[in-house]
Amino acid sequence: MARFGVRLENDPNLSPQDYQELASQAEKNGFEAVWVPEGGGRDSLTSLATIAMKTDAVKLGTGILPIFARTPTNTAMGAAGMAAVSDGRFMLGLGVGHAPTVESRDGIPFKQPMTRMRETIQIITALLSGEEVNFKGNQFNITGASMGAATPKTKVPIYIAALGPQMLEMVGELADGVLMNWTAVDYLSEAIGHIKRGAEKAGRDPKDIDIAGYVRVAVGDDLTASRDSLRRQVARYASNPFYRNFFAETGFDKEMSDAAAALAEGNLDKAADSITVEMQDQVAVVGTSAECRVALEKRRGAGLQMPVIAPFAVGDNMASHMHVINALAPKG
């Protein structure tokens, strides 16, 4: 059976019982993994712990935990707790986040994100392996830290959220996998190339690194509302310099420039109108169930080993998620 994951949106309007119901259905339908992001609202570890109590086999991942909001030791403790609650099904997804969010919401200077990620992974890997950690780095100085009896009995895979060349190479060097936030079809081979280079520099086999990524998905026959929702979602990213540059480098510089200019005027409708159908079909999947399956397999053929379907809501979020989980069931 082909590997698929599903992202459950971190939506405070979804109750803990909703998350359990969605994850249970995903498990029943043959999805390999459930990922829960963290950006606002509830923390993702609590939602995943709730899901763990009502599932048996599906893997559970943070997609992702922002590393500036937690210390490495605190993150390792959370990972150990989730590994215990889930009977070894937990995957730890980590990301640096974005400067405006980190500095305004978390109140932390966004300094040396690459260094912070490297040191965070080095410390967490050692702690989760049962080592006593004495670490002197650029951002962290740790003495005598240990998980003790809380050390997980099984390995906790670490995934890095990465899109740019440097972070992708770090995936190859240090991580067990990558979780890409956007999976533009024509960019996948380039992204995977960076991961392979990082692995080869570190003397690792690139085949040991899992390639996962979010694919925004809407399934249905009348998709006008879905495309409207997608255009607005993509347009909002034009206000983020990192993502604006990423989309520009994937061939959509004009779309991002026009959207950014419209957002600067406070006109989201105009910004959304800048997102062409060509761009929509590169960065997301919209269509009937059969059309979506073909588009997802195209990404798999480009090297995306675990497409993680990310339903984007049109109307009720619970209904949108359940519809996509059933329409694209791997067992279907």
Contact, 45 vs 8, CB < 8 A?
no
Grade residue 315 by pLDDT with cuts at 50, 70 and 90: confident
| Overall pTM > 0.75 | yes
Cα separation of 78 and 46, whole Å?
A: 10
Among the listed residues 66, 56, 48, the one whose alpha carbon sits nearest the alpha carbon of residue 7: 48
Contact, 121 vs 94, CB < 8 A?
yes
Task: Give residue-wise pLDDT tens across range 17-46.
Answer: 999 999 999 999 999 999 999 977 899 999
pLDDT score of 208: 98
Return the higher-pLDDT residue of 221 and 86: 86
Question: For the purposes of burial, counting CB atoms within 10 Å of the CB of 276, is it exposed (0-12), middle (13-18) or buried (19 or more)?
Answer: middle
Among the listed residues 23, 12, 11, 13, the one whose alpha carbon sits nearest the alpha carbon of residue 49: 23
Grade residue 332 by pLDDT with cuts at 50, 70 and 90: low
Task: Give the chain's largest Cα–Cα span.
Answer: 59
How many separate helices (H) and strands (E) can be counted in the chain?
Answer: 14, 12
Picking from 103-107, 202-206, 295-299, which range would have the lowest pLDDT averaged per residue?
103-107
Cα separation of 267 and 208, whole Å?
A: 45
Compute the average pLDDT of residues 299-312.
Answer: 97
Domains and CATH numbers, the chain: 5-220+288-327 (3.20.20.30), 221-285 (no CATH)
CA–CA distances in Å: residue 318 to residues 170, 222, 258, 314 = 36, 19, 33, 10
**Cis, bond preceding 123 (omega within 30 deg of 0):** no
